[in-house]
Amino acid sequence: MHYPTYEHPATKVIHVVTDQTSCLCGEVYNSFYQLTRRDLRNIKFKDVGTINCTECRNKLKEVQRDLVSVKS
Ligand SMILES: [Zn+2]
């Protein structure tokens, strides 16, 4: 599966983006909030395997579990 991701320029950590101002893990919310329009163009759809933020990966698993439980 592919998700919208953003590579943090300073830390090189790839996060999952949930909307224009935040990523899946709350930790870097503030830096996302300060993103400029140009930064938003850096959001790319990438395979789940390329996401290297542990927190985002964990949250992603939770979301997927929720989706499965809603279906069943
Ligand atoms: Zn993250």
Predicted local confidence at residue 34, as pLDDT: 67
Distance from Cα 33 to the centre of ligand 1, integer Å: 13
What's the domain range around 19? 2-71
Beta-carbon neighbour count of residue 24 at 10 Å? Answer: 22
Predicted local confidence at residue 18, as pLDDT: 83
Strand partners, 15: 6
pLDDT digits (tens, 9 = 90+) for 8-61: 888 889 999 887 678 888 866 566 666 677 666 778 999 999 999 999 999 988
Distance from Cα 70 to the centre of ligand 1, integer Å: 25
Predicted local confidence at residue 1, as pLDDT: 82
The number of CA neighbours under 13 Å toward the Cβ of 45 is: 3
Distance from Cα 14 to the centre of ligand 1, integer Å: 7
Distance from Cα 13 to the centre of ligand 1, integer Å: 7
Report how many domains make up the chain: 1
- Note the pTM of the prediction, 2 decimals: 0.74
Q: Are 41 and 6 in contact (CB under 8 A)?
A: no
Q: How far apart are CA 65 and CA 46, in angstroms?
A: 20
Distance from Cα 11 to the centre of ligand 1, integer Å: 11
